[in-house]
Amino acid sequence: MNVAVLKTKAEQALSESFASAAAALPGSAEIRRLRLDAMSRFGALGLPTRRVEAWKYTDLRNALKDALPAPPTKAPKARPADVEAALGPLAAVEAHRVVFIDGQYAPDLSALVADGTVTVASLATLLDSDASAAELLDASAHDDDAVLALNIAYAGDGAVVDIAPLADLDRPVLLVFVRAAEEPSFAAVRNVVRVGEGALATVVEAHVTLPKAAKDFQLNTATKVIVGKGAKLAHLKCTLEAGGGTHLSNWLTELGPDADYRGFQLTAGTLLARNQIAVTFAGEGAAIDLSGAFLGRGAEHIDTTLVVDHAVPQCTSRELFKGVLEDRARGVFQGKVIVRPDAQKTDGKQMAQVLMLSPDCEFDSKPELEIYADDVVCGHGSTSADLDEDLVFYCRSRGIPEPEARALLIESFIGEALEKVEHDALRSALAELAHNWLRHAAPAGGDA
């Protein structure tokens, strides 16, 4: 049967507004061609629907009613104190801080020490000036991803972080993405993190909001990560945008031999969040540990989708995600682990656990193991449960008031995932963010 594919209002708007947006986007003729190619891929793919297996539980085509315009070119003024307040507990973490307001680099709010170990540049600047910048937008291994295609087409700015070989960073690189626009708007951010051979680094992406920002927003963010031979990267993302918006995120990680990658994501307070993490093992002996916590209430929908591709032998993967769902919130966890025929001695373990605190919340869990090698150890598990009322009573009988007893037990549940964060100050800040959320305070300052 041959059916003309009808485009939704959002799809049409995204395609049509590209022509006018393209002129303002950074990049040479080569970059413009890349963007055009991406846009035509998007035109062919359309927004993903639940009929696309990877989007089975998050029907983006249905959820995205309209495309929002780009934010005003003159970003609203944000003072350093506003950024501090928006970061909440994260502000106390000593870091190389690089700030973006509505997707645009804000040099006056950024404090980077150039000490030869780490360089952070604005993507927009590099796209305009660097002849080899096309690779910064490359995602050729993910040609079938409509969200990534939009990201390439519209990417306005982002951070390009280079960690020198053998560098041992004394503090994390904190990339702060502040939502400030008072009108609903769309932004596409593209980051690149390259960790040189043998280097040790921590890179954090924090998505936060100013109190006066519009409730509605659309963010499409993608971070390409390349971890060199024997290097170790802790990569964290805190999605705390507070509001009624859509947060679409992609991490595309490629690991060299003996690399060690520890990814962690905390998501709380976004109406629709889709966090995709794709990891490819390109060299033997590498290890990943992906973990995170997602906290949803109201009508929030938080989707964590992992694709771990064991393309080479002798690699290890661990995944642990913890969710807390209240009200009508919906959590989605999809964990695909591919073990290619040559990837012998692969060791993979995956676990997703969710606390469902209301009869109206929903959790969809889909582990997928595709194993083509025969000498491997792989396992997965998924649980969902309510709080143990006997434990709540036990705490209350010791004088702990009920709300505090519940919060304490939920915190202990999330704690197992937070323990995966090795950086002490970051782990404490994340714990405090979760603690605030559980007590119905805005996780990171501002009004929730």
Chain contacts with another protein (rule: CB under 8 A): 389-391, 393-402, 404-405, 408-409, 411-413, 415-416
What is the nearest approach in angstroms of another protein to the Cβ of residue 111?
A: 33
How crowded is residue 38: how many other Cβ atoms within 10 Å of its Cβ? 23
Q: Is 22 exposed, middle or buried (0-12, 13-18, 19+ CB in 10 A)?
A: middle
The pairing of beta strand 217-227 with beta strand 185-195:
parallel
What is the nearest approach in angstroms of another protein to the Cβ of residue 275?
A: 24
What is the nearest approach in angstroms of another protein to the Cβ of residue 428?
A: 14
Which letter, b or e, does each residue of 370-409 get, where b requires 16 or more Cβ atoms within 10 Å of its Cβ?
Answer: ebebeebebebebebeebeeeebeebeeeebeeeebbbbb
What is the nearest approach in angstroms of another protein to the Cβ of residue 118?
A: 35
HEC readout, 122-161 = EHHHHHHHCCCCHHHHCCHHHCCCHHHHHHHHHCCECEEE
Q: Which amino acid is at 75?
A: A
What is the nearest approach in angstroms of another protein to the Cβ of residue 385?
A: 13
Pick the closer one to another protein by CB: 179 or 406.
Answer: 406
Euclidean distance between CA atoms 426 and 428, whole angstroms: 5
The pairing of beta strand 96-101 with beta strand 173-179:
parallel
Pick the closer one to another protein by CB: 395 or 425.
Answer: 395
What is the nearest approach in angstroms of another protein to the Cβ of residue 362?
A: 25
What is the nearest approach in angstroms of another protein to the Cβ of residue 396?
A: 4
Pick the closer one to another protein by CB: 362 or 411.
Answer: 411
Handedness of CA 42, 43, 48, 53 (dihedral sign): negative
Pick the closer one to another protein by CB: 359 or 399.
Answer: 399
Pick the closer one to another protein by CB: 408 or 441.
Answer: 408
What is the nearest approach in angstroms of another protein to the Cβ of residue 411?
A: 8
Pick the closer one to another protein by CB: 340 or 435.
Answer: 435
Pick the closer one to another protein by CB: 315 or 320.
Answer: 320
Please report the DSSP string for 208-236 in residue order.
Answer: EE-TTS-S-EEEEEEEEEEE-TT-EEEEE
Helix (H, G, I), strand (E, B) or coil at 81: helix
* Cα-based angle 287, 334, 299 (whole degrees, multiple of 5): 130
Pick the closer one to another protein by CB: 343 or 356.
Answer: 356
Pick the closer one to another protein by CB: 116 or 399.
Answer: 399
What is the nearest approach in angstroms of another protein to the Cβ of residue 355?
A: 12
- Report DSSP state, residue 284: T
436 and 416 Cβ atoms separated by less than 8 Å: no
φ, ψ dihedrals at 223, nearest 5°: -125, 125
